[in-house]
Structure 1
Amino acid sequence: MKPAFAHLLRIAGLAAMLLLASLSVTARAEVSVTFYSHDFGKNFPHAFFVAKGETADGRQVDTAFGFTAVNVSPGILFGSVDGHVKAPSASYIASSNPHFTVRIKDRQYRELLAVVDKWQNIPQKSYSLNKRNCVHFINDAIKTLDLKTNLKTANWKKPRSFMEEVMRLNPFLK
């Protein structure tokens, strides 16, 4: 075999190996988190988020979380009641208002799940319209993602207005 031809074969083999190696590298995984509000009515939660995508280890993510009273009754107007983290149904999500989406990496997704876990484990009488409602839950989630929020907001009971305020504070959000 002629040296020039052998050299070409080595280069072609090296190129093929590099191509195969680049194909075997996993695409950079990420999760998209969309924040929603739902106009007031008989269904809750009125503020929640949906997470979809894939983690770096290949786990598929398709989940949603909001915080609400266990039993929605006039009792929520008079004080604290039992609360829980709830996954809204697909039809509820479809009838809600998406406000903005952020793409996050695995570390942020784990931190977001830690917020959910914290809220799931709050001792009962955990829902308070004035101190611990769906907007407070979403505020914790948003802060975990290093987004700005206004702790002196007048929108603690107004999910849509709260989301719009977050978008004004973080103009890069869409």
Structure 2
Amino acid sequence: MPAQAQVSVSFYSHEFGENFPHAFFVMKGRLESGETVDTSFGFTAVNISPGILWGSVKGEVATPKPKYIANSNRHFTVTVDDNKYRQVMELVTKWRNIPQKSYSLGKRNCVHFVSEVIALLGYRFNRDTDFWKKPRSFMEEVLSLNPRLKQ
């Protein structure tokens, strides 16, 4: 019998400080093939500027640096199988290929990105949330809607 995948997906937020608020996730572990997984993804504006307040701007799926991750808040972690891992990677590709100008503070930002991953993994989030622009508050709301998730 092949070994089961042990890929953990951890969801993070980063509040104001040196950087713009942000939501992202980190994936670490090993696939059934033996391939090591160690990556992270967040969706952000290519350039953080006042332009994001007035409309859509160029966006990108980016990989946060280790120091940034270390200075962020981990909210919860789930374990996924190879199939779910592949589905998450397909979703990342979908977001990478959205036509530009793809980032919209109110309609398509980092919280929208992680909300799709959360839903893909079978967890609930509030589609009518007041927290689309507040990553930490959004993650706390997700935790309250999914009691089986642990910090």
Secondary structure of the structure 2 residue equivalent to 1:139 = helix
Q: Does 1:32 align with 2:44?
A: no
Match of 1:80 in 2: 56
Matches within 5 A, 1:8-47: 26-44=2-20, 46-47=22-23
Aligned residue type for 2:139: M
- Output the TM-score relative to the length of structure 1: 0.83
Identity percentage over the alignment?
63
How many residue pairs align between the two structures?
A: 150
**Equivalent position to 2:122, from 131, 146, 164:** 146
Q: Does 1:98 align with 2:46?
A: no
How far the C-alpha of 1:88 sits from its partner, in A, is: 0.2
How far the C-alpha of 1:27 sits from its partner, in A, is: 3.4
How far the C-alpha of 1:30 sits from its partner, in A, is: 1.8
Secondary structure of the structure 2 residue equivalent to 1:160 = helix
Match of 1:108 in 2: 84
Maintained 8 Å contact 2:4/2:81:
no
Q: Aligned partners of 1:55 and 1:168: how far apart in 2?
A: 30
Q: Which structure has more RCO (C-alpha within 8 Å, separation ≥ 6)?
A: 2
Greater C-alpha Rg: 1
Match of 1:120 in 2: 96
The unaligned stretches of length 5 or more in structure 2 are none
Q: Aligned partners of 2:3 and 2:40: how far apart in 1?
A: 24
Q: Does 1:58 align with 2:20?
A: no
CA RMSD of aligned residues (A): 1.2
